[in-house]
Amino acid sequence: MKQLRIGYLSTLYHTSHILKSEGAIDAGLGVAAQWRLFGTGPAMIEAFAQGELDLGYIGLPPAMIGISRGLPLKCIAGGHCEGTVMVGPADTGTAENVQQRNDILALFAGKKIGAPASGSIHDSIIRHLLNQQSVAGASVVNYPWADLMPQAISDGEIAAAVGTPPLAAVAQAWYGHSIIIPPGLAWPFNPSYGIIVQAGMLKERDFLEGFIGLHEKACNCMREQPLDAARILSQAVKVVDAAFVQRVLAVSPHYCAALPEPYRAATMAFVPVLRELGYIDRELSEGEVFDLSFIGRVHAGPHHY
């Protein structure tokens, strides 16, 4: 291999920012990394479809939608779980159990809720919850960039929004909003993101195992040394300070490269949801989504989520 084309998102707790800023792939694996930023996971899947990417940091539902349409993609490592939060006006309250979650959802009958792109993990979760609870007249408005949603709440365009922990940190720090449904109540153990590769990469076994090793090291840094990780990340993105990044990392501190059974089970639980929403039109097997042979060699022990 001479180069690696990597798709990544702006999400702060993805290890992409650490590996990119440190030049870890170029220096540690001897491969020139070409990084390409995307606003949403579905947009990244379109780039995979055009043959423009080798590897991507992405939520599992968009990848599953691509796989259902015939894209030769595999998830070879995890990265984070429980990365979907719901934010809204501070006087809404915060759910502490499933019943309170359902009570909060009922408050949005007839109202609009913001979410990232159609088919993203956050979009899939909120649409499923609204359907499950039969919240009358509630609708989802999709945004190409999640950063637009806190202002949209303040402007009255939407009543609340779902997205990543960075969305929650922005909404709290700069707009006075609150987390109203925390990550563990949106979808327990949901596969916030994983490492996806196009199938042609699977033959590069030594390289991919080396990449997963670097990825796991960065996950460990965020979990075990959040102050150090916050400094690295703030220097990498250059638009927020370390204190803000530290708040982001603390919202849902479940960082690991492993693919344990709960992660895989939570992923496959999306299959009927994606079918219900019309995003896929067939069943998917775990073997179509995951290749466990790499992580089994790099991270064989208990997970750290």
Beta strands in 91-218 (DSSP E): 112-115, 139-142, 160-163, 178-181, 193-198
136 conformational bin, left if phi > 0, alpha if psi -120 to 50, beta if neither: beta
Confidence check: pLDDT of 301 > 80:
yes
Q: What is the pLDDT of residues 17-38, one digit of tens each?
A: 999 999 999 999 999 999 999 9
Count helices and strands in the chain by DSSP H and E runs: 16, 10
* Dihedral over Cα of 250, 252, 258, 262: its sign: positive
User: What's residue 143's pLDDT?
Assistant: 93
Whole-prediction pTM = 0.92
Taking residues 158-168, what's their average pLDDT?
95
C-alpha–C-alpha distance, residues 114 and 125, integer Å: 12
- The DSSP 8-state label assigned to residue 225 in this structure reads -
User: What's residue 91's pLDDT?
Assistant: 95
Confidence check: pLDDT of 71 > 80:
yes
User: What's residue 52's pLDDT?
Assistant: 98
SS3 279: coil
Confidence check: pLDDT of 1 > 80:
no
Confidence check: pLDDT of 40 > 80:
yes
Six token digits for residue 150: 């806190």
**In the chain, what is the straight-line distance between the N-terminal and C-terminal CA atoms, in Å?**
32
Confidence check: pLDDT of 66 > 90:
yes
What whole-number percentage of the chain has pLDDT above 70? 100
Taking residues 85-112, what's their average pLDDT?
97
Q: What is the pLDDT of residues 253-296, one digit of tens each?
A: 999 999 999 999 999 999 999 999 999 999 999 999 999 999 99
Q: Which residues contact 70 (CB under 8 A, 6 or more apart)?
A: none
Q: How many CA atoms are closer than 13 Å to the CA of 11, on its beta-carbon side?
A: 29
User: What's residue 39's pLDDT?
Assistant: 85
- Where helices occur in 252-302 by DSSP H, the ranges are 261-268, 270-276, 286-289, 293-298
Confidence check: pLDDT of 47 > 90:
yes
Length of the chain as a residue count:
305
The mean pLDDT of the chain is: 96
User: What's residue 70's pLDDT?
Assistant: 97
User: What's residue 300's pLDDT?
Assistant: 87
Residue type, 64: M
110 conformational bin, left if phi > 0, alpha if psi -120 to 50, beta if neither: left
For residue 145, what pLDDT band results from cuts at 50, 70 and 90? confident
SS3 135: coil
C-alpha–C-alpha distance, residues 140 and 38, integer Å: 21
Residue type, 166: P
Choose among 95, 295, 99: nearest CA to 210.
Answer: 295
Question: 10 Å Cβ neighbour count for 131?
Answer: 13
User: What's residue 144's pLDDT?
Assistant: 86
Q: What is the pLDDT of residues 232-243, one digit of tens each?
A: 999 998 888 999
Choose among 191, 193, 177: nearest CA to 86.
Answer: 177
